[in-house]
Amino acid sequence: MEFDLIARHFTRPTPGAVLGVGDDCALVAPTSGMQLAVSSDMLLEGRHFAPQDSPAGIGHKSLAVNLSDLAAMGASPRWATLAIALPADDDAWLKAFARGFFRMADAHGIELVGGDTTRGALTISITVIGELPPGEALRRDGARPGDDVWVSGVIGSAATALAYRQGRLFMEQIDAAKVLPALYLPTPRVALGIALRGVAASAIDISDGLLADLGHILERSAVGAVVDLAALPTLPVLQRYLHESVARDCILAGGDDYELCFTAPAARRDAVLEAAARADTPVTRVGRITADPGLQVVGADGHALAITRTGYDHFAA
> Binding site for ATP: what residues are annotated?
115-116, 140, 207
Query: Are the beta carbons of 109 and 77 closer than 8 angstroms?
Result: yes
Strand 148-152 to 111-119 pairing: unpaired
H helical segments located in 130-209: 157-165, 173-184, 190-195
Binding residues for substrate: 48, 256, 312
Name the strands in the sheet holding 224-228, side by side, starting at the edge strand that comes first in the sequence. Answer: 202-205, 260-264, 148-152, 283-290, 224-228, 294-298
- Other Cβ atoms less than 10 A from the Cβ of 316: the count is 5
**Cβ neighbours of residue 116 under 8 Å, at least 6 residues apart?**
83, 84
Chain centroid to Cα 153, Å, comes to: 12
Binding residues for Mg(2+): 24, 39-41, 69, 116, 205, 208
Q: Which amino acid is at 5?
A: L
Binding residues: 24, 39-41, 48, 69, 115-116, 140, 205, 207-208, 256, 312
